[in-house]
Each structure stands twice: as structure tokens, then as C-alpha cells.
Amino acid sequence: ISTATTLAGSNFDNCMMNASGVYCMDSDELLAVENSKAATFVTKSGTLQPRKGNPEPRYFETEFGSINSMGLPNNGVDYYLDFVSQDQINHPGKTYFLSITGFNLAEDLELLQKVTDSDFAGVVELNLSCPNVPGKPQTGYDFETVDAILKAVFDVYHKPLGVKLPPYFDIIHFDQMAEILNKYPLSYVNSINSIGNGLYINDDTETVVIKPKQGFGGIGGEYVKPTALANVHAFYQRLNKDIQIIGTGGIQTGKDIFEHILCGASMVQVGTALMVEGPVIFERLTAELEAIMAEKGYDNIEDFRGKLNYL
Ligand SMILES: CC(C)(C)CCc1c(C(=O)O)[nH]c(=O)[nH]c1=O
């Protein structure tokens, strides 16, 4: 039995990695994922300059998941480019993911120029949940801007690149986004980012649990799995087959990974559960997924990927 996968033209020993933002802020965290059973890692979204992010508390674990309004704290894209370029030397032939986000199109292009000028040989993940001009929704919900960004990006960048998408909740939005995405030579789309602007309350103190944005923050964990599976499958149904899918959202067990793959995912990313359990989680997830595959008689993930049945 193998949980190996191929994504963005690279082969991976298995189909699991961290989600950007979790266990990927600095070299210690990235090495912890590297030395775990995860197939690879993605960095925290790097910006042109390092950022401190929002005041704490900015992350809170709830019974069924998490809420966060981190505010994009990161060491800056140069830090991650330096780290991965060195890591590539220590692990020849291994493919890593570098997440980036600009605050406008010019910044996105400047970030990509830095990647082009570096020794980075992996896959770029462009975070489209990034903020947009004030007064407009996040980029992923501004379809014309997504189109303009992808056109400009693929005019200048010609190596493997995928986009991290926020969740969509309307079938017409799946249709409209897929129509845009299908125009570009994307390696993959990664669905979903956290469900934006949720609210979690401490009833004893009658208070929110995170400081930024009056307690509003992105929701992750068990809460988001049905939305994550729907976004993975909706894009699997609509995207041309050379745009692969990374499934992110609500993964806690091998069963959750099995469901993401059944919906069409070629790789999965673990966020909240990795935050809770640490990188050792990848050993448990591997064993659980392999047990399910053995029980069902599947040798590899292609035996069941995307093969969700309808009634
Ligand atoms: C939400 C943004 C700060 C605009 C982007 C970074 C980000 C954050 C964050 O750094 O607050 N949290 C998430 O759950 N997803 C994200 O993509």
C-alpha cells in the first residue's frame, strides 16, 4: 500500500503536509515538519518585509477547531527563500512549497521576481485570501482581481505555482471561479483557507477570545470539513484535469484524508489538528489512512481519488 502522490510535477512519498500558517513560521518549526512523516512542508505566507502581525491573543483553540486573526506575522520572504534554498541542498531532489502574499498586484510580482532570482526550485503557493484594497472584499472574493492577478502572474512566472483559495458557498461562485482558474496554467488549487470572520465567545466572561478585530477571525478545524470537502469536490468537477487539487480543512484522522481524496484531492494539508498534536500527527494519519486503504483493497490513492459516488 502506498499513499504516495504526484503534484505540480513532483513525486512525494505520501500525500500529507502542513497547512501554511501552521508549524512553518521559522526554521525550527519547518525542520520539525521536515523531520516528521509529512511528505514536505509549506512555509508561512512570506511578505516583502517581515511582519509582527496582530496583538495577542490572536489564536484560540476551541472544542471543535480554532479561530485566528494572526495578521500575517512572518519573517519575510527572503528568510523563507534562504531557508528553503539551503534545505534543497541538504535534501537534493525534494520539493518544498513557498507560500507568498502581497498586498497588491505590484507586490505579488515583486515577490515572484525574488523567487525567480533565488535558487528556489520548489512550488509557489500564492495566498489569494490576502487583503485587497480597503473597501473591497478579500482578493479571493473579488473575481475580477483574481483574473487580473493570475494574468499578470503567468505573464512573468513560468514555474510550478498554485493558489490558496478561501471557501466559496454558492454554486455559481464555484462556476465563476473555475471559469477564471481554467484560463491559466496553474499547477493546483488549494481549497480551503479558514472560513473567514467567525466569532467564538467565552460565556463565563461574556467576552470574545482573540484580541484583533473585536474577536472576529478565521475558523479552522472540525467545523470546516463539510465546506472543505465541498470546495475540493466542486473544483475537482469543474477544473481541467491538469489543475490538481490540494485539500485543506478539517483533517484530524485518516478517514478525513480518505474523504478529501475521494473528493478529488491529490495532496492534503493539515492545519488546526497539527497545531494541537504536533508533527507526530503525521505518523498516526499515515497509519490510519493505510488501514482504511487496506480494508477497502486500495493499493494507492489513484485507485479511489475523485471517485465519490452520487445517489
Ligand atoms: C488573513 C490574512 C492575514 C489576510 C492572510 C493570512 C492568513 C491568516 C493570518 O495570518 O491571519 N490566517 C488564516 O487563517 N489564513 C490566512 O491566509
Contacts of 82 (CB under 8 A, 6+ apart): none
Q: State pLDDT tens for residues 222-279.
A: 999 999 999 999 999 999 999 999 999 999 999 999 999 999 999 999 999 999 999 9
Q: What are 250's three cell numbers?
A: 478539517
CATH classification at residue 299: 3.20.20.70
308 in any annotated domain: no
Residue nearest to atom 10 of ligand 1 (CA): 72
Q: What spatial distance separates the first Cα and last Cα of the chain, rounded to whole Å?
A: 29
pLDDT reported for residue 130 = 84
Closest listed residue to residue 38, CA positions, set 271, 288, 285, 282: 282
Position 132 confidence tier, pLDDT thresholds 50, 70, 90: confident
Please indicate whether residue 263 is annotated as part of the active site.
no
Tell me, in angstroms, the distance from the centre of ligand 1 to residue 252's CA.
Answer: 21
The DSSP H or E segment spanning 215 is none
Locate the ligand 1 atom nearest the alpha carbon of residue 74 and give its number: 10
Q: Kindly give the distance from the C-alpha atom of residue 299 to the centroid of ligand 1, in angstroms, as a whole number.
A: 37
Pocket probe mutation, ligand 1, options 194, 200, 270, max atoms within 8 Å of Cβ: 194
Residue 261 lies in a domain: yes
Residue 63 falls inside a structural domain: no
Is the ipTM higher than 0.90? The answer is yes
Q: In which domain, by residue range, is 106 found?
A: 5-53+73-194+223-303
The partner residues of 98 in beta bridges, in order of sequence, read: 124
* 209 found inside a domain: no
Amino acid at 91: H
Three-state SS at 90: helix
For 160-224, where are the alpha helices, taking DSSP H only? 171-181
Nearest CA to ligand 1 atom 5: 130
Position 218 in a domain:
no
Number of domains the chain is built from: 1
d(CA 180, CA 201): 38
Catalytic annotation, pick one of 15, 24, 130, 263: 130
Is the pLDDT assigned to residue 133 strictly greater than 90?
no
Q: Which atom of ligand 1 is nearest to the CA of 129?
A: 17
pLDDT per position as a tens digit, 174-225: 999 999 999 999 999 999 999 999 999 999 999 999 999 999 999 999 999 9
**How many beta carbons lie within 10 A of that of residue 63, not counting itself?**
8
Question: Distance from the CA of 71 to the center of ligand 1, in angstroms?
Answer: 6
201 in any annotated domain = no
Nearest ligand 1 atom to the CA of 72 is 10
Cβ < 6 Å from ligand 1: which residues? Answer: 21, 45, 68-72, 127, 129-131, 193-194, 218
pLDDT digits (tens, 9 = 90+) for 139-176: 999 999 999 999 999 999 999 999 999 999 999 999 99
- Residue 99: inside a domain: yes
Q: What is the mean pLDDT of residues 112-119?
A: 98
Is residue 232 situated within a structural domain?
yes
55 contact partners, CB below 8 Å, separation of at least 6: 211, 212
